[in-house]
Amino acid sequence: MENTTSTKMIYEGKTINLRVDDVELTNGNMSKREIVEHPGAVAILAITAQNDVFFVRQFRKPIEKELLEIPAGKLDEKEDPAACAVRELGEEVGMKPGTLRQIAFYYSSPGFASEKLYIYLATDLEPVDVAKPEDEILEPLKIPFNEALAMARQGRIEDGKTLIALLLAADLMEA
Amino acid sequence: MENTTSTKMIYEGKTINLRVDDVELTNGNMSKREIVEHPGAVAILAITAQNDVFFVRQFRKPIEKELLEIPAGKLDEKEDPAACAVRELGEEVGMKPGTLRQIAFYYSSPGFASEKLYIYLATDLEPVDVAKPEDEILEPLKIPFNEALAMARQGRIEDGKTLIALLLAADLMEA
């Protein structure tokens, strides 16, 4: 436990807020915690009947480079994570899942951010026509599951949620 | 690519900075990017000769709960990631690795943060006496590797870096 003795909101933004808390530790020491408030997000490992996985290539401004990721997106206010997964899969790769199963829940950076991630396995996919958000530029593509898994194991996937989704799905598919 | 048309530093802190960039997308649209600048971090999967893994239980203020994690820590300025791993393993669980191997490099939250993570597998461990930082309160513990891996696969590990480390190490140890 860390008791908050004072809290200060530094910035309230579109996606994240930043606040700084003064805290008292259990040993009596005082410290400062810089905290990014994030609404949470979902990521979707969508696998076709031919065992291909949908990916998107997307430029990520914080790291100034393009990453290969599975479809993902932030939760809207009070949005159900499964509903968010269906929405994002439609927007990003134009697919609708017949079957959706949560395979992971985790915190991406618990040292400085509140972001929680829900990962879903989506199968029985059908095409769906959904408008894309205007401020996201994505290049969708498909990669055979075994090839994507080999990339994850060989260090060629640099996105955390995509790594976790592929490695967990490998266990499920081999089980 | 996203061309930055203006950038504004909102906050410069102890661990993170926050800036907001106005960007021009490749389709000509304008957008805003809220970016958390982070120095990067390391995490260490340290396995004993008896196949036990070192963990720490640590209260994480951003999520207001305790997490079970492998030892980890932020890079000091210009610090070599492998040197940081040795330092953090000493500080957090009092061990020094005879063998250290990088098994992953990834971005934890590339949508809003620059944080990169280096994960190491540490073996041939020997006790070392190192002072602990005063603002971290950790409870170190050991869990057999197979039990920890089962926890990861069953959704009982909620820390991203710990999930990735355990799932990747499972592949290495089974290979």
A11-53 pLDDT per residue, tens = 999 999 999 999 999 989 999 999 999 999 999 999 999 999 9
Contacts of A36 in chain B (CB under 8 A): 16, 18, 36, 62, 112-113
Give the pLDDT band of residue B82 (cuts 50, 70, 90): very high
Residue A137 pLDDT > 90: no
Give the helix ranges, DSSP H, for B61-121: 81-93
Question: Is B15 in contact with A1 (Cβ distance < 8 A)?
Answer: no
CB-based burial of residue A27 (10 Å sphere; 0-12 exposed, 13-18 middle, 19+ buried)?
exposed
The verdict on ipTM greater than 0.90 is: yes
Give the pLDDT band of residue B163 (cuts 50, 70, 90): very high
For B168, the enclosing helix (H) or strand (E) is helix B160-174
Residue A175 pLDDT > 60: no
Q: Is the backbone of residue A119 left (phi > 0), alpha (psi -120 to 50) or beta? A: beta
Tell me which residues of chain B, numbers 145 to 174, contact chain A at a CB-CB cutoff of 8 Å.
153, 155, 157-161, 163-164, 167-168, 171
Q: What is the pLDDT of residue A119?
A: 98
What is the pTM assigned to this prediction?
0.96
Residue A174 pLDDT > 70: no
User: Looking at the complex, does the CB of residue B132 fall below 8 Å from at least one CB of chain A?
Assistant: no
- The residues of B assigned a catalytic role are 134
For A174, the enclosing helix (H) or strand (E) is helix A160-174
Domains and CATH numbers, chain B: 3-37 (no CATH), 43-103+113-174 (3.90.79.10)
Q: What is the pLDDT of residue B9?
A: 98
Q: What is the pLDDT of residue B175?
A: 54
How far apart CA A169 and CA B84 sit, in angstroms, is 31
Residue B136 pLDDT > 80: no
